[in-house]
Amino acid sequence: MQAAKKQNIRHLSLEELQSYFERSGDKKFRARQVYEWLWQKHAHSFDAMTSLGKELRNKLSGDFDLPSLTVDASQYSADGTIKSRFRTADGHLVEGVLIPTETRQTACVSSQIGCSLSCKFCATGYMDRKRNLHYDEIYDEVVHINQQAEGTYQKKLSNIVFMGMGEPLLNYKNVLKAIERISSPDGLGMSPRRITVSTAGVAKMIRQLGDDEVKFKLALSLHAANDQKRHEIMPINDTNNIKSLIEALNYFYRKTGNEITLEYILFKDFNDSIQDAGELTKIYRQIPADLVNIIEYNPIELASFSKPDEATTELFMQHLEKNRVNARLRRSRGKDIDAACGQLANKDTIH
């Protein structure tokens, strides 16, 4: 007969842990000790919980599982960016990136193993979605990337962006629970204002974020300023057109007052004309967006897009500026190790 699957101890709340210790006839304060080991001291085994007696560690090991994400491999870019491939306890691979600048240490984290949205310009979009990441796995990504920031740059993480593999709003509960743990004083204690969740545009879930009155920032991956073009590169636009996204973002802002950013990748001869800039300006006028990030396209083998030349990019930016759009050109980092925006795909060449 197959043994019953043990419960992941990190999926228990502090109250549930307290109940467990009370039922076991142990002292209630043990729960707080264990919780601290799990979320603040980042113990990845029961043996690592050295303030607990061996007998108790053995009991916990017999009753619970403690699966965790491990760093499978890392790559270092010439510009200081570090890409890591993480391995889950059940053998899946997922990538995360540390992006260092003079003023920030940013973790770009993944929320799913693969992705189901099939955006035509994104390497992850050509992978199947294997499963959602659990909230403790997302938390582990942040812990590992923070350790890299401290070890390499002697600085803690200052920002987290959910812009890695997967669509965060299609893993809603785990993403929100991960952010709750990351921002909790008995977790990593990071301000939710320093966390940005990026979505390809799931209108219903953007509204849900408003109803849940979240505290973090939101970024919409727009990438085309009319439905026809957006449909070509982002199939999700079929069910979540630009009008529905504008309405959802306004609802989100009314409910939360949180910062909204629009993300727009420039593709040569596709969405880089002055007419495109004009259409983007019109959308910007309808949304309480703080900023439009114009992003350099990073080529991938599976797609035929390329980036426009500097002169075209400059004209596009000038048009936005002239029309008082708060836009910033974001130069990509980590391109030499496929760690830039849209390039994460668990390549076997990582070492």
* CATH code assigned at 37: 1.10.150.530
Q: Which of 36, 95, 150, 310 is catalytic?
A: 95
Of 28, 44, 65, which residue is a domain's last? Answer: 65
Does residue 351 form part of some domain?
no
Per the annotation, the verdict on 341 as an active-site residue is yes
Residues 46 and 102 in one domain: no
Domain count for the chain: 2
189 CA to centre of own chain: 18
Per-residue pLDDT tens digits of the chain, which is 351 residues long: 455 689 999 999 999 999 999 999 988 899 999 999 999 999 999 999 999 999 999 999 999 999 999 999 999 988 899 999 999 999 999 999 999 999 999 999 999 998 888 888 887 766 778 899 999 999 999 999 999 999 999 999 999 999 999 999 999 999 999 999 999 999 999 999 999 999 999 999 999 999 999 999 999 999 999 999 999 999 999 999 999 999 999 999 999 999 999 999 999 999 999 999 999 999 999 999 999 999 988 887 777 889 999 999 999 999 999 999 999 998 766 666 555 554 545 544 333
Residues 283 and 327 in one domain: yes
Residues 167 and 316 in one domain: yes
Task: Confirm if 92 and 35 have CB atoms less than 8 A apart.
Answer: no
Per the annotation, the verdict on 95 as an active-site residue is yes
Cross-strand partners of 265:
295
Of 65, 88, 110, which residue is a domain's last? Answer: 65
Q: Which residue type occupies 323?
A: N
Residues 17, 13: Cα–Cα separation, whole Å:
6
Range of the structural domain that residue 50 is part of: 7-65
Does residue 347 form part of some domain?
no
Residues 79 and 188 in one domain: yes
Does residue 124 form part of some domain?
yes
Of 65, 89, 113, which residue is a domain's last? Answer: 65
Does residue 48 form part of some domain?
yes
Retrieve residue 137's tokens.
């796995």
Residues 45, 68: Cα–Cα separation, whole Å:
9
Residues 89 and 114 in one domain: yes
CB-based contacts of 265, cutoff 8 Å, min separation 6: 121, 223, 271, 295, 296, 297, 341, 342
Q: Which of 108, 115, 122, 341 is catalytic?
A: 341
Residues 61 and 74 in one domain: no
Does residue 342 form part of some domain?
no
